[in-house]
Amino acid sequence: MPDLKEKKCLMAYFSRAGNNYVDGKILNLQVGNTKITAETIQEIIGGDLFQIDTVTPYPKDYSATTNVAKKE
């Protein structure tokens, strides 16, 4: 595997904090799962992170958010 720390890397990610479905239940997460994963990868390979945000925020309620996602 090439040494990626010597390359310029940009990781773009979308992550949802707040109400999330985790291990069969809805939990309130301070930091979204994808953000944690992106930061872990950044520690390993370096590079820059770019968080993708929605123009219109998703509802805070998890079920309402999944309904919006189904329509999208």
In sequence order, what are the residues at sequence separation of 6 or more whose Cβ sits closer than 8 angstroms to the Cβ of residue 53?
14
The per-residue pLDDT for range 31-70, each reduced to its tens digit, is 999 999 999 999 999 999 999 999 999 999 999 999 999 9
Distance CA(72)–CA(68), nearest Å, equals 6
Return the domain boundaries, the chain. Answer: 4-71
The answer to whether 67 and 26 have CB atoms below 8 angstroms apart is: no
Place of tokens 């309130």: 28
pLDDT digit string, tens, across residues 21-36: 899 999 999 999 999 9
Q: Please give the Cα distance from 38 to 10 (Å, whole number).
A: 10
Q: What is the pTM of this model?
A: 0.78
